[in-house]
Amino acid sequence: MSTGEPPLTAEAARRAAQAVLDVPGADDVEVLVSASATGVTRFANSQIIQNIVRKEVRAYVRVAVGDRIASSGTNQLDAEHMNDAAARALEAASATRGDADFPGFARPDRDGRAQAVGRWDDATAAASPARRAEAVNQILGASNSANAAGTYETSSFAFGVFSSTGIDCFDAYTRCATTCLVDNGESTGWGDGSSHAMGEVDVEAAARRAARKAEASKSPRSAAPGTYEVVLEPAATGTIVEYLSYAGFGAKQVLEDESFLARHTGEEVGAPSISILDDVWHPQSVGIGFDFEGVPRKRVAVIEKGRARGPVSDLRTARQMGVEATGHGSRSNELGPYAANVVLEAGDKNLEALIEGVSHGFLVTRFHYVNILDRPATLLTGMTRDGTFAVEDGVITGAVRNFRFAQNVLSALASVQGVGQDLVSLAPEFGGFGSTVAPSLHLGEFDFVSTTSH
């Protein structure tokens, strides 16, 4: 954790895998090895309340006996545990019936050889608990608040996929993320920052922004629910596109008729200014250059200039659709392929210009507890929080109490009036895999359906 080295080297990952790649009884073997060194310092009530360092390794051994497949995993990479995992996978595979849709494991000659993205920063990987505490103290100082809460994280991750079919790939990345909520007793404000490199995360700016938002949110008035113009700041936009991705960017959802892409591919589903991709190669994305089957991650335009294109796929769904796999295997056939590095491409306006374009509407800092109401219809619900402001004739006129929204995302994207130039990289909210890159958005129509007391 303090060396700047990956949490697991390529050699160690490969060595663990090689112990089982030729296990007797299997026709083919694939091993996914993952490792992480996570340092998260949480603060609340303007003091550190939790502070952890976590080192983890995992290996998932997947075996194929003909078209019978099963996997078994372990968090111990020695040969004995790896062989035990392989034996348990073999035992399980023998109990299954054949899987007619099994596409085989990835092969470099057919599926390509992955390149590492290399989103790595030595300083972030080497950050000590003392360095994180120093960052938290900077945040607390800049927030100038007796009630600030949030996190400061410096973590590193490594992934390797190795198989008897010739797959041999490894990549590692770092992540620095901070959040800050300032609560002045009457209202709250929010600021955040995320990058693969801690030097690019301005913790004091995030804290100052949270403090400004909290101050500006004082004395919120109640506003009537209804359909309004809104400007979504990047954190709010990011949440919407993450859920849109979860709702329907995967080929499995398309094949099962549960994705909007199943019925609208090729059609206009958003304004021409809207392009949404899965692109781990975007300079602000944080991720790895291959999926959990070892297939190279391709840049996939799911919505291109407002028009619905194809989903992201893994080997199984690509075979079912008769297309080339895009390298988005999630390791779960139940979840299916997943777009973990969604990018909504930037526009040409700054946030102030987007707000100036609103005649009667609201500015949303971020959303809370969003969930899917209707997957094919891309209908979501959730709450606003930490800074929601009325905008009249292009001017912010004051804070309002939080709204609940219920919104068809495609309808919202079709109503886009402007796209911000302020692309922001957002870390996964629950600490998971990938990143989202999103700008501010001016939407012509957004449905707020109820309010709350704060």
Partner 1 sequence: MNELLSAALDAATSSGASYADVRGVESRVESLGVKGPTVESLDRFDSLGFGVRVLVDGAWGYACSAELDSTEAVSIARAAVDIARASATAMTVPAELAPEPVHRDSWVGPMELDPFAVTLEDKLELLTAATAGMQVSPKIRTTRATMDLLTEKTWFMSSEGSSIDQTFVQSAAGIEAVAVGGTEVQQRSYPGSFRGHFASGGYEVVTEMDLVANAEQTGEEAVALLTARPCPATVTSVVLDGHQTMLQVHESVGHPTELDRVLGMEAAFAGTSFVGIPDLGSLRYGSELVNINSDATIPGGLGSYGYDDEGVAAQRVDLVKEGILVGFQTSRETAAKIGADRSNGTMRAEGWENFPLIRMPNINLLPGAGSFEDLLADVTEGIYMATNKSWSIDDKRLNFQFGCEIAWEIKHGRLGRMLKDPRYTGITPAFWGSCDAIAGPEEWKVWGTPNCGKGQPGQTMRVGHGTSPARFRSVSTGMTS
**Taking CB under 8 A as the criterion, which residues in 428-447 touch partner 1?**
429-432
Kindly state whether residue 368 participates in binding partner 1, applying the rule CB under 8 A: yes
| 106 in Cβ contact with 165 (< 8 Å) | yes
Q: Would you count residue 15 as binding partner 1 (CB under 8 A)?
A: no
Contacts of 374 (CB under 8 A, 6+ apart): none
Stretch that binds partner 1, among 8-16, 42-50, 390-398, 414-422 (CB under 8 A): 42-50
Q: Within a 10 A sphere around the Cβ of 352, how many other Cβ atoms? A: 12
User: Does 217 interact with partner 1 (rule: CB under 8 A)?
Assistant: no
Q: What's the closest the beta carbon of residue 353 comes to partner 1, in angstroms?
A: 30
Judged by beta carbon, residue 99 or residue 202, the one nearer partner 1 is 99
Contact predicate 8/35, CB 8 Å: yes
Residues 80-139 that bind partner 1 (CB under 8 A): 81, 84-85, 88-89, 91-93, 95-97, 99-101, 128-130, 132-134, 136-137
Complete DSSP assignment for 406-446: EEEHHHHHHTEEEEBS--EEE--TTS-S-EEEE--EEEEEE
Residues 253-282 touching partner 1, rule: CB under 8 A, are 256-258, 263
Q: Is 186 in the site for partner 1 (CB under 8 A)?
A: no
| Residue number, 74 or 164, with CB nearest to partner 1 | 74
118 DSSP 8-state letter = -
- Pick the binder of partner 1 from 5, 18, 28, 76 (CB under 8 A): 76
Query: 404 forms bridges with which residues in the sheet?
Result: 383, 450
CB of 60 to partner 1, least distance (A): 8
Considering only residues 396 to 415 of the shown chain, the ones binding partner 1 according to CB under 8 A are 402, 404, 406
The DSSP call for residue 151 is E
Q: Residue 401, SS3? A: coil
Sign, CA torsion 298/321/108/22: positive
Out of 266, 323, 369, 397, name the contact with partner 1 by CB under 8 A: 369
**CB of 391 closer than 8 Å to CB of 358:** yes
- Characterise 27 by phi-psi region: left (phi > 0), alpha (psi -120 to 50), beta (else): alpha
Task: Choose the binding region for partner 1 from 19-27, 78-86, 110-118, 162-170 (rule: CB under 8 A).
Answer: 78-86
**Closest separation in Å from C-beta 25 to partner 1:** 16
Taking CB under 8 A as the criterion, the residue among 14, 42, 110, 319 binding partner 1 is 42
